[in-house]
Structure 1
């Protein structure tokens, strides 16, 4: 969380400093034009790659496969779109890395591997549930009362031995 705050606090400062540097070298209007061109070109590439990823995901779903890689790439394209439309050159570089298919697939594989080690799937959780009988799980509408009990014998009464 702290790293995210630092990213949002420091990144705009670095972007503005870089824009001022580039503006001093090529001129203010040329810098603005370059930022606008990168936003339009980035939006075009995000749309094109997004349609391609969506088509691939639909094909996988039609063949009864889970489109996990495509969903992750779609999320990355969404982030890339935000980065490319945001004014600045550093965000454009990161956005372009997420838009280009080879780098996006590489980053998605690494991210998928990282996430699979940290996320517990719902089916793994359900398989570890414990029920008191071999019958089916209790109904959702049924009241369940949990508790402990201990059997105590009456010590005042003598026990009969037969």
Structure 2
């Protein structure tokens, strides 16, 4: 397994460097470096705004006692998108931008939710009366000696 990860890392590095050389050859090295830095900043700001939007949707769903599975999966996709956008390189930036597309996020949500064995349901119809589960009384805490 360790050798497989090492080989996978070297293949990734080779592809990333080859792609950078081709882009730098066509637009120039300085412009290619500026593009890599700019995509990191743009990606970070996009992930931040979409993450805050998803966080507010999660809070609304929690207040309405609805399932949060979809938003959690979207937030994980945003986390990976931000990770890929912060890694310098054009291939990872492309992958990060693909993960930011809402249609791709919705597809991932459908794919993951269908394979999840756990079904979550929230019983929001139950009303709690004061006499249901509250026991009034006094107590004294004693240490065991």
**Normalising by the residue count of structure 2, what TM-score does the alignment of the two structures yield?**
0.73
2:21 aligns to what?
A: 20
2:12 aligns to what?
A: 11
1:34 aligns to what?
A: 35
1:73 aligns to what?
A: 74
Equivalent-residue separation in structure 2 for 1:122 and 1:50 (angstroms): 25
Structure 1 residue matching 2:66: 3-state secondary structure? coil
1:158 aligns to what?
A: none
1:106 aligns to what?
A: 107
Identify which of structures 1 and 2 has the higher relative contact order when contacts are C-alpha pairs closer than 8 Å and 6+ apart: 2
What is the aligned-residue RMSD (CA, Å)? 2.2
Structure 1 residue matching 2:65: 3-state secondary structure? coil
Equivalent-residue separation in structure 2 for 1:103 and 1:34 (angstroms): 24
Equivalent-residue separation in structure 2 for 1:56 and 1:7 (angstroms): 37
Equivalent-residue separation in structure 2 for 1:36 and 1:65 (angstroms): 40
Q: Following superposition, which runs of at least 4 residues in structure 1 exceed 4 angstroms of deviation? A: none
CA deviation after TM superposition for structure 1 residue 122, in Å: 9.6
Structure 2 residue matching 1:65: 3-state secondary structure? coil
**Normalising by the residue count of structure 1, what TM-score does the alignment of the two structures yield?**
0.66
Q: Which runs of 5+ in 2 are unaligned?
A: 121-145
Equivalent-residue separation in structure 1 for 2:50 and 2:119 (angstroms): 31
1:48 aligns to what?
A: 49
Equivalent-residue separation in structure 1 for 2:72 and 2:29 (angstroms): 39
Between Structure 1 and Structure 2, whose CA radius of gyration is higher?
1
CA deviation after TM superposition for structure 1 residue 101, in Å: 1.6
1:95 aligns with 2:96: yes
Aligned residue-pair number: 118
* Shift in alpha-carbon separation, 1:108–1:11, aligned structure 2, 3 A: farther
Q: Which runs of 5+ in 1 are unaligned?
A: 124-162
Equivalent-residue separation in structure 2 for 1:94 and 1:47 (angstroms): 17
